[in-house]
Amino acid sequence: MVKGKKRGLGKGLEALIPDMISFNEIEQDVTTEKIEQISIHKIYPNPNQPRKSFNEESIQELANSIKIHGIIQPLIVSKTAKGYMIIAGERRLRASRLIDLKEVPCIVKNYSEKQLLEVSLIENLQRQDLNVIEEALAYQYLIQQYKVTQEELSEALGKSRSYLANILRLLRLDQRVIDFIIEGKLSGGHGRAILSIEPLDRQYLLAEKIISEGLSVRQVEELVKNLNNAIKENHKKTKNENKDIHVAAIEESLRSIFGTKVNIIKGNKKGKIEIEYYNDEDLDRIIGLLQ
């Protein structure tokens, strides 16, 4: 296998994953391999590639360019029982279909299923317009496939550990919210802001509110903070309402003695008494009463 530096993937990735196909190999294929004209109807996208969304406006611009100048860089495909699966060049294929091309120039490669996904990962990770969910899915694949830690991968990619962790956390969102991010209706920042909301149905309802009202990330962070505080207060209130009548009576008696809020927490065999104070003088007053 030809070795080469992986552009945009960090200098350490080749050492971490030595058998991964490099993007340089794809580039070398373009200049050294035989180019074949293949019917556009025999070519289909790789269903497992990380990139799921395409900007229709940029595809139309590419189609206009192809109409004038032709396809300058051939597609790279792999022969399968179904026809030819795209390894690199799905945007060119989509653009070619818009202008009703019958055939497109291709280089045919024989890659295994594992190699096909690797090449798609490499081709897409070095792009600047990859959305955060596609990026997260690519990182998740590398971690699971090669049994590496987030820390090892972050070093190999030349990215911070927190950056990697924050992107991967987005995959824990409700799938409908993930789809909103892929479609560009929400940003990764919006997604991170609502991660703490449970259950997932509430994430989806909040996501719809964000979209309909055009809320900024900062506004969503404040909204989530208020929602979480309200949930805690309701939980506390419910807990107090369910408290044993005898315990509640003791708490009320102690409140009248100390002149402040007293909370009794009972466990199976032991518990604790919490006495609130509001400043140093209040603390001295309560200590005096205890003495």
- The predicted pLDDT at position 2 comes to 32
Instruction: Name the active-site residue from 33, 36, 57, 90.
Output: 90
pLDDT, greater one: 288 or 93: 93
Average pLDDT over residues 133-160: 83
Domain boundaries, the chain: 16-111, 187-290
Percent of the chain with pLDDT over 70: 77
- Residues 160, 162, 166, CA angle at the centre, nearest 5°? 125
CATH of domain 16-111: 3.90.1530.10
pTM, to two decimals: 0.56
pLDDT band at 4 (very low <50, low <70, confident <90, very high): very low
**90 counts as catalytic:** yes
Distance of CA 146 to the CA centre of its chain: 19
The C-alpha atoms of residue 165 and residue 152 are separated, in whole angstroms, by: 12
Rg (C-alpha) for the chain, rounded Å, is 29
Mean of the per-residue pLDDT values of the chain: 80
The C-alpha atoms of residue 228 and residue 74 are separated, in whole angstroms, by: 53
